[in-house]
Structure 1
Amino acid sequence: MGLTSTPTLLTTTLCATALLTGAVWCWPRLARTTWRTVGGRVGLLLATQLALFACVVLAANRSFGFYASWADLFGQERGEGVVVDHTPYGTGGQGGAGGALRVVGLRDADGTGGRIQRVRVVGRTTRIATPALVYLPPEYFQPRYRTRTFPVAVVLTGYPGTAEALVRGLRYPRTAHRLAAAGRMRPMVLVMLRPTVAPPRDTECADVPGGPRTESFFAEDLPAAVRVHYRVDRAPAGWGVVGDSTGGYCALKLAMHHPEVYAAGAGLSPYYRAPVDRTTGDLYGGDRNLRDRADLWWCLAHLPAPDTSLLVSSSRTGENNYKDTLEFIRRVKAKGVTRISSIILDSGGHNFNTWRREIPATLRWMSDRIGER
């Protein structure tokens, strides 16, 4: 029986009900103080609580799609995703302005020979200040590359997320180094941070009226700050953005809204319309134009197709966005200008193990679409 199947949940529920009923029925028989009866009570209570806990966990996983299968739960899913291009691709655009960046820490990148700098970015136009991690590949420091600039991928977490999770949990630097060393992608600089620039509020990468101008920070301040402090491509043809979950939605929105900044945007397990809930608060201040613009479905229907490349991912089993992702691909293809690609796994939940399987193909895809040709 599958992890998310109805028979699994029903069987677990029946077991929990039987154990609870048995505990009530047998409790008077176990009232004595011998070691057998005490052990029986402890065992019965433990078994009942474990069964009830399993019911809750299975129901939550079924609702939110954290893990798609038993193999996914135990980290045994190993097959990497494969990119399918639905349209041809190209490049284009111009860059943004305004930002300051200060290095506050430095350490070796785990086993890659590169460096990870812990930085603090302060937006000159938005006044947003947020920490980030910048991965510089080993080639950045090699004499033969001293006159070369490097393409940049801005890498975003989900909500709330931490930049450190992109290094240790999702292993972006290690994967990028492995692929570059094998000649499967060009070396690139990774700027890793969470989209939650005004914690604990989830701003969904929007310019909130009277609040944080998060979209402007990622579209203007961050690229400008990175260009000033690092030897990176200045043209948007050398810039891409990738993220998972909330970060995936943000990556798609930034690439669609700002093709003059990002030549490519990749959303791993993204959604296509920003939620409004207790974590976001009022994102639009009653402004219908802002609300519509944050809705990627509305953008596809009412705005000119942006000259950028997009990648989306999902799983046939385990992801709630599968049908929406197929529809998003269809609508982008119908516009005829934006390039669209996808990674569709047979099985995979909304979790790190799934995204680790998609990241190698995503980085190769990104490398093919940004930087020197």
Structure 2
Amino acid sequence: MGLTSNKVLALAVLSAVALFVLTIVFWPRLARRGWRAVIGRIGLLFMTQVMLFASVGLVANKTFLFYGSWADLFGQEQTEGVVVDHSAGAAGARSLTVVGKQRVAVPGSKQPSVGGQIQRVVVRGDKSRINSPAYVYLPPEYFQAGNEKRTFPASVVLTGYPGNAKSLIKGLKYPTTAHRLAAQGESQPMILVMLRPTVAPPRDTECVDIPKGPQTETFLADDLPKAISGAYRVGEHARNWGVIGNSTGGYCALKLGLHHPDRFAASAGLSPYYKAAEDLTTGNLFHGDQKLRKRANLLWSLDHLPARNSSFLVTSSKKGEGNLKATREFIKKVKPPARVSSIILDSGGHNFTTWKREIAPTLEWMSGRLSAK
């Protein structure tokens, strides 16, 4: 039974209820003196609490999809066979493999020309040597007759850390939101490439190229767009590409847009922070190289890197977020020809509920700054 399955959740809840009932039934016996009665009381109380917390944890994980499997929870690598989809071109077949397809949660989803399609892929980085799973949302227009040669803009969408790419589909509902906005004429049809920035699990690489370690920035800025452009009808110019992320993914999105304006024309950070975290999850990111550490500070980069014709979107809230001061500082530091926009909510915490309120306007903003050709 999978970590996110209803059976596991039901088993945990039933176990918690059963242990609670057993505690009530046997408590009179266990109220006696003696070491056996004491151990019995401790055991029942302990097991009841464990199952209660397990149930709450499973509900939270099922809602927000922090971990997709037991192996993901315990930081174990998964080795899976892949089925090669030869419909892509030669370059795409080498760097990207389609391993599954699923419907979008919209009416008419049986037909890709009506509901679009989500493809699960594995991307192989030629430069970074990193392999990472991802989900690619293709809008209905991609499959419609007469559009066989039409190109589309694309946006990379990143989770926070540790993250689960499924949360971008089920929890934050990026594909269904993009589908709705395009159908209403509020956004142009876009391809979304959804993944977590944790491409070397369980390590949090903060989307940097670690000396003698994972080259995450190279994978996201170079390998990933090339692989997608080689397999799908997406241009290779900066005007064709954007990047969005929340929390750690928000930091990564802004970092990629700031450091790679030749690849991404627009970047949006939802509840981002502005310099790389350094803790037990990251390990030694910079190996004493102060130039790399400064470069990973976005506020420093704005002061020291030449301004380019890039667009940035940052979000925060007056109550509930800890990044408001730094966000306002980021806004002040952006200089022409770069442009900056913001979403500042009156209140909203660092969570899915807040980001859901920001995703639709973010996709509209992104659509207005990307070109299909």
TM-score range normalised by the length of the shorter chain = 0.7 to 0.9
Moved more, 261-270 or 302-311: 302-311
Aligned 8 A contact 1:240 1:264 in 2: yes
Aligned 8 A contact 1:257 1:306 in 2: no
CA distance in structure 2 between the aligned counterparts of 1:184 and 1:108, rounded to whole angstroms: 22
Q: CA offset at residue 99 of structure 1? A: 7.4
Alignment match, 1:342: 342
Alignment match, 1:56: none
Aligned 8 A contact 1:248 1:266 in 2: yes
Alignment match, 1:279: 281
Alignment match, 2:102: 107
Aligned 8 A contact 2:308 2:336 in 1: no
CA distance in structure 2 between the aligned counterparts of 1:278 and 1:218, rounded to whole angstroms: 23
Alignment match, 1:228: 230
Q: How does 1:32-181 map to 2 (within 5 A)?
A: 100-111=95-106, 113-181=115-183
Aligned 8 A contact 1:104 1:117 in 2: yes
Q: CA offset at residue 307 of structure 1? A: 2.1
1:220-269 C-alpha deviation (Å, 9 max, x unpaired) = 10010000100112221010000000000000000000000000000000
1:9-30 C-alpha deviation (Å, 9 max, x unpaired) = xxxxxxxxxxxxxxxxxxxxxx
Aligned 8 A contact 1:309 1:369 in 2: yes
Aligned 8 A contact 1:311 1:340 in 2: yes
Distance 1:98 1:309, change over 3 A: farther
Distance 1:196 1:344, change over 3 A: same
Aligned 8 A contact 1:99 1:121 in 2: no
TM-score, normalised by the number of residues in structure 1 = 0.73
Alignment match, 1:352: 352
Aligned 8 A contact 1:99 1:124 in 2: no
Q: CA offset at residue 98 of structure 1? A: 12
Alignment match, 2:18: none
Alignment match, 1:78: none
CA distance in structure 2 between the aligned counterparts of 1:255 and 1:182, rounded to whole angstroms: 28
CA distance in structure 2 between the aligned counterparts of 1:358 and 1:340, rounded to whole angstroms: 16
CA distance in structure 2 between the aligned counterparts of 1:145 and 1:185, rounded to whole angstroms: 18
Q: CA offset at residue 108 of structure 1? A: 1.1
1:71-124 C-alpha deviation (Å, 9 max, x unpaired) = xxxxxxxxxxxxxxxxxxxxxxxxxx9971100111111225111100000101
Alignment match, 2:322: 320
CA distance in structure 2 between the aligned counterparts of 1:158 and 1:107, rounded to whole angstroms: 23
Q: How does 1:4-19 map to 2 (within 5 A)?
A: none
Aligned 8 A contact 1:133 1:191 in 2: yes
Distance 1:222 1:158, change over 3 A: same
Q: CA offset at residue 324 of structure 1? A: 1.1
Give secondary structure in 2 for the equivalent of 1:224: helix
List gaps (5 residues or longer) in structure 1: 1-30, 33-44, 54-65, 67-96
Distance 1:273 1:167, change over 3 A: same
Aligned 8 A contact 1:98 1:125 in 2: no
CA distance in structure 1 between the aligned counterparts of 2:273 and 2:371, rounded to whole angstroms: 27
Q: CA offset at residue 147 of structure 1? A: 1.9
Q: How many residues align?
A: 284
1:163-192 C-alpha deviation (Å, 9 max, x unpaired) = 100000000000000000000000000000
Alignment match, 1:85: none
Give secondary structure in 2 for the equivalent of 1:220: helix
Alignment match, 2:271: 269
CA distance in structure 2 between the aligned counterparts of 1:326 and 1:287, rounded to whole angstroms: 28
1:125-183 C-alpha deviation (Å, 9 max, x unpaired) = 11100100000011100013222100001000000001100000000000000000000
Alignment match, 2:369: 369
Does residue 193 of structure 1 match 2:188? no
CA distance in structure 1 between the aligned counterparts of 2:96 and 2:300, rounded to whole angstroms: 35
Aligned 8 A contact 2:253 2:267 in 1: yes
Q: CA offset at residue 202 of structure 1? A: 0.2
Superposition misfits of 4+ residues, deviation over 4 angstroms: none
Which of the pair has the greater relative contact order for Cα pairs under 8 Å at 6+ separation? 1
CA distance in structure 1 between the aligned counterparts of 2:270 and 2:197, rounded to whole angstroms: 14
Aligned 8 A contact 1:99 1:224 in 2: no
Does residue 239 of structure 1 match 2:241? yes
Give secondary structure in 1 for the equivalent of 2:200: coil
Q: Share of identical aligned residues, percent?
A: 62
CA RMSD, Structure 1 to Structure 2 (Å)? 2.3
TM-score, normalised by the number of residues in structure 2 = 0.73
Q: In structure 1, give the amino acid aligned to 2:272.
A: P
List gaps (5 residues or longer) in structure 2: 1-30, 33-44, 54-63, 65-91, 110-114
1:310-352 C-alpha deviation (Å, 9 max, x unpaired) = 00000011000011111111111xx222100000111100000
